[in-house]
Structure 1
Amino acid sequence: MNLTDHFLIAMPDMDDPFFAGSVVYICEHNEDGALGIIINKPSPITIDMIFVASGRTVPLSRQQESVMMGGPVQVDRGYVVHTPVGDWQSSMMVSDDIALTSSRDVIEHLSEQGKVEKALVSIGYSSWYKGQLERELADNVWLTVEADEHILFDVPYEQRYAAAFAKLGFSPDNLIAGAGHA
């Protein structure tokens, strides 16, 4: 099982305060574990703050855009899930069209036409060690669905949880806590 380029959707009864209600975009999943970015939990930081800190003018299209709280690991670093893949200093290809970049050069080009078409900026990331995600899936902690670029980049963050569930064909309200595999 390889869940790269999939969404993990937290089950409605998840009690972990960090991941409850989360949609995680899985950027890498292999025999060593998994890495992803939470796409629906805003941090107190906005893109404006990042641009101002780097001495750049904030593009109109990015003003007041929230930076997501990508996960509890390395919350002092920024990560950008973006399209097109491009040629950046430190990137991981997720799919033919999407990359995860952790180098500052992608931020510097967010305001340039044609360099980065769509982007989701986060601080921190989420990770699972070898076998951990598979155990959590077996324990009904998460649902999975193939990722959707529209949900990832275009749907407002507060609607992404419901939108990811809709890809499964039902609402989180349809699940009864402890009802087994969905």
Structure 2
Amino acid sequence: MAKRDRTLPTAQSSQEEGYLGGQVLVAMPNMQDPRFARTVICLCAHSPEGAMGIIVNKPLDGMSFDDLLKQLELEPVPPQRRIRLCQGGPVEGGRGFVLHTNDWTSDGSLEVTKDLALTASVDILKAIAGGGGPRSGVLALGYAGWGPGQLEDEIQANSWLSVNPDETLIFGEADDQKWRQAMAKLKVDPVLLSGAAGHA
């Protein structure tokens, strides 16, 4: 978390035509990379320069919201409100991002969709700890990143499906059920999926 983070993608890059910014990526059952097996990822930005997303269904073990506030020396502890913590992805695992409803934003927030935003400043943690901040949010350590054309190649190789986000998928507490919920939203039975499926 930083006071002012200038490295977040621009809002424009997250929603260019033909790109999947704001969508939820769902790992196909044949996903070989153990870091992404059965993951549900909110894709926060996608452009010709690459893509960036937050895994929303891998809880962060061994650290609580209170622990994080103590590390960052933020008050009050105990906080008036808490949000859950997750492993956002394998890139920059020590860096924090809050994916949240966009009823609260700061200067450095990235608009992901009309309903969601991403903030990487400690201001949002102060607001939440003090009882304010966005209505819903999840704090992720790290993120998932793709270079130019990499995500498109993985989609062509049947590694990912995409679905529209909803608050249960993003902010719900049942992390172990989110992958199946996302598949159900696509009206897909994971048992019937094959990594060798063709493209319509």
Q: Same fold (TM over 0.5)?
A: yes
Residue 103 (str. 1) matches residue 107 (str. 2): no
Displacement after TM superposition at 1:5 (Å): 1.1
Q: Which residue of 41, 48, 60 corresponds with 1:24? A: 41
**Residue range with higher mean Cα deviation, 51-60 or 8-17:** 51-60
Q: State the aligned residue count.
A: 180
Whole-Å separation in 1 of the counterparts to 2:29 and 2:81: 33
TM-score scaled by structure 1?
0.89
Residue 56 (str. 1) matches residue 63 (str. 2): no
Residue 77 (str. 1) matches residue 95 (str. 2): yes
Residue 157 (str. 1) matches residue 175 (str. 2): yes
Deviations 1:114-146 (A, max 9, x none): 421100110001111111111100000111111
Residue 15 (str. 1) matches residue 32 (str. 2): yes
Q: Which residue of 2 aligns with 1:143?
A: 161
Q: Which residue of 23, 34, 38 corresponds with 1:6? A: 23
Q: Which residue of 33, 54, 62 corresponds with 1:37? A: 54
Letter in 2 for 1:21: R
Letter in 1 for 2:70: V
Preserved contact between residue 39 and residue 68 of structure 1 (Cα < 8 Å): yes
Query: Equivalent residue of 1:71, what SS?
Result: coil
Q: Which residue of 2 aligns with 1:129?
A: 147
Structure 2, unpaired ranges of 5+: 1-17
Q: Which residue of 2 aligns with 1:171?
A: 189
**Residue range with higher mean Cα deviation, 24-33 or 84-93:** 84-93
Whole-Å separation in 2 of the counterparts to 1:87 and 1:20: 32
Query: Equivalent residue of 1:136, what SS?
Result: helix
Q: Which residue of 98, 104, 124 corresponds with 1:86? A: 104
Letter in 2 for 1:29: H
Letter in 2 for 1:97: D
Structure 1, unpaired ranges of 5+: none
Preserved contact between residue 12 and residue 175 of structure 1 (Cα < 8 Å): yes
Preserved contact between residue 80 and residue 130 of structure 2 (Cα < 8 Å): no
Displacement after TM superposition at 1:55 (Å): 4.2
Query: Equivalent residue of 2:140, what SS?
Result: strand
Preserved contact between residue 21 and residue 44 of structure 2 (Cα < 8 Å): yes
Whole-Å separation in 1 of the counterparts to 2:104 and 2:60: 26
Displacement after TM superposition at 1:42 (Å): 1.5
Letter in 2 for 1:149: E
TM-score scaled by structure 2?
0.81
Instruction: Name the structure where strand makes up a greater proportion of residues.
Output: 1
